[in-house]
Amino acid sequence: MAWVAIVAAGLFETAFAVFLKLSDGMSQAWPTAGFAVSALISFGLLTVALRELEVGPAYAVWTGIGAAGAAIVGMVALGDAVSAAKLVSIGLVLAGVIGLNLSGVTP
């Protein structure tokens, strides 16, 4: 259950980063509200997951999903530039998170 919580927390981290971008410096009400709600849910789920998981791998998964997700949403939906270097870098972030978890540091 903790892994489900951490993956969901990472997805909400992606959402809060995207909403933060859409809020235009927190000057737009609905995206700002979306940012606040997504951030609260993300941190709440991270807190739940940390009850059972080690902090290093859990934080890596949370930030890895958030970083990769925000980059992908930016490129797909927000008009951010797409490049081979960005795609390779996203792959490296995900590979690092997977490697950390496969290294035996979590049960």
pLDDT, one tens digit per residue, over 71-103 is 999 999 999 999 999 999 999 999 988 888 777
Supply the DSSP symbol for 82: -
* Distance in angstroms (rounded) separating the CA atoms of residues 11 and 6: 9
Q: Is this prediction's pTM over 0.85?
A: yes
In a domain, 107, yes or no: no
In a domain, 52, yes or no: yes
- What is the domain extent for residue 69? 2-102
Percentage of residues of the chain with pLDDT beyond 70: 96
* Distance in angstroms (rounded) separating the CA atoms of residues 38 and 30: 12
In a domain, 83, yes or no: yes
Asked whether the predicted pLDDT for residue 106 surpasses 60, the reply is no
pLDDT score, position 105: 56
* Distance in angstroms (rounded) separating the CA atoms of residues 67 and 76: 14
CB atoms within 10 A of CB 12: 24
Q: How many domains does one find in the chain?
A: 1
* Distance in angstroms (rounded) separating the CA atoms of residues 32 and 36: 6
Token readout for 65 is 């999903």
Q: At what angle do helices 29-50 and 2-22 cross, to 10 degrees?
A: 160
